[in-house]
Structure 1
Amino acid sequence: MPRVVLVTGGARGIGHAIAAEFARDHAVAITWATTVPKGLPDKTLAIRADLLAQSAAEAIVSQVLNRFGALDVIVNNAGQIGMSPAQDFDAAALQDMLGVNLLAPQALLAAALPHLKPGAAIVNISSVNAVLPPYGASIYGASKAALNLWTRAMAKELGPQGIRVNAVAPGAIDTPESPRSDDLKGLFVKDTALGRIGQPQDVARAVRFLASEEAGFITGEILTVSGGYRL
């Protein structure tokens, strides 16, 4: 059954792969900030938005409803990653990171909740760094750990309404927008049970599953998609 899916940060990388996966047979809206969307079906609704803006969430939900008349799935993919070594403190940058990674999903949920029906699903994009602390980027890891807790808390709060909330925690994913050196890729591959680096489609398929009726009795879970990284 076709559904209406909103993917934040859907113009590139993992978000683009998620949007393309759903666009095969669902109505899709994406948000983007700086990268102009390319390679998605013409019917895709692309909304330019600053997720940190005060009224962004309400405006996004309104545009989705005006175009499609419903909203069934929210994929909170947009995120910020940045360094935060112990000796440095940039309050504005760190607040922006926490805002995009944690507070923006809450804002979207608050705006969308009156329109979500039983059977709706929310899938958050977390990271293995929520449990494997990244050296020099502790605030990023902490923001994803907080997102995991928020995922479980919202699953508990929204379960009585028939709304499921889960997360996918990718490991090392190879995207054109964030190229890694061959040496770094080799290190990731060495520590990965399946012996390869991940692709955006690996994450997209996991997100599609968690949003589907096949996962109808799964909520509050953090699904690691890492190929067995650091087992």
Structure 2
Amino acid sequence: MKIVQLDVASADSVEAASKITQAMIPDGLDVLISNAGISKGLEPVLSLSDDLYLEHFVVNTLGPIGLVRASHSLLDKKATKGVLAVTSIVGSVGMVMPEFTSGYGLSRAGLNYSFRRLQQELSPEGYSVARAHPGLVASDMRQAFYEGLEPEIRKQVSLIAPDESASAIVQNVLQELKNQEL
């Protein structure tokens, strides 16, 4: 396994990581998984600052789009051409969570929309594009969120281990991407 560090909030960082990755795997990339995410400021819609909304949007929406853009030529070299965005049910416009997730929810709704569009735009090129809600994972970000919930809500919610979530994504979502290629 090789790790390439990048900051999805920086186009320069994404581009530099793309160049490093192209040198490391010149034959191409089978599947790109975008797992960037921040959640800050658990405040009502009108209370969250514009700066926090923008920070969420840059990392959670524009970051994954830039990552796909920078990886497009590497993905084109393989027949698999799989793209997966790890997103959240909080970004659903069909339901609103009982706690304040204004910046995070808005930015994940943007990610969900953009990856649905990418699915339409890239599928004629042989791409499989998917989005996955990993569940309430006991990550640093989610743990802080969980601890901030009202005790009544916390009783109804349980966090899952990161490795359990990752295994489910591999077994269910990545396998589905593979099946779409047939």
User: Structures share a fold, TM > 0.5?
Assistant: yes
1:185 to 1:115, Cα distance in 2 relative to 1, 3 A? farther
TM-score (norm 2): 0.78
Mapping of residues 49-88 of structure 1, within 5 Å: 49-69=6-26, 70-83=28-41, 84-88=43-47
1:188 Cα offset (Å): 4.6
Aligned residues: 170
Q: 1:53-103 CA deviation, whole Å, 9 max, x = no partner?
A: 232222111111212222221111111112242342422222111011000
> Which one of the candidate residues 138, 152, 157 is aligned to 1:174?
138
CA distance in 1, matches of 2:154, 2:161: 13
Percent of pairs with identical residues: 22
More strand by share: 1
Mapping of residues 1-231 of structure 1, within 5 Å: 43-47=1-5, 49-69=6-26, 70-83=28-41, 84-116=43-75, 117-131=78-92, 132-134=95-97, 135-175=99-139, 178=143, 180-181=146-147, 187-188=153-154, 190=156, 196-209=158-171, 210-212=173-175, 215-217=178-180
More helix by share: 2
Gaps of 5+ in 2: none
| Paired letter, 1:74 | L
| Paired letter, 2:47 | D
1:159 to 1:185, Cα distance in 2 relative to 1, 3 A? farther
1:93 to 1:169, Cα distance in 2 relative to 1, 3 A? same
Q: 1:10-61 CA deviation, whole Å, 9 max, x = no partner?
A: xxxxxxxxxxxxxxxxxxxxxxxxxxxxxxxxx43241x3222232222111
Gaps of 5+ in 1: 1-42, 219-231
1:118 Cα offset (Å): 2.9
Query: Does the aligned pair in 1 maintain the 2:137–2:160 contact within 8 Å?
Result: yes
SS in 2 for 1:170: coil
Query: Does the aligned pair in 2 maintain the 1:188–1:197 contact within 8 Å?
Result: no
| Paired letter, 1:190 | Q
SS in 1 for 2:37: coil
Query: Does the aligned pair in 1 maintain the 2:38–2:59 contact within 8 Å?
Result: yes
TM-score (norm 1): 0.63
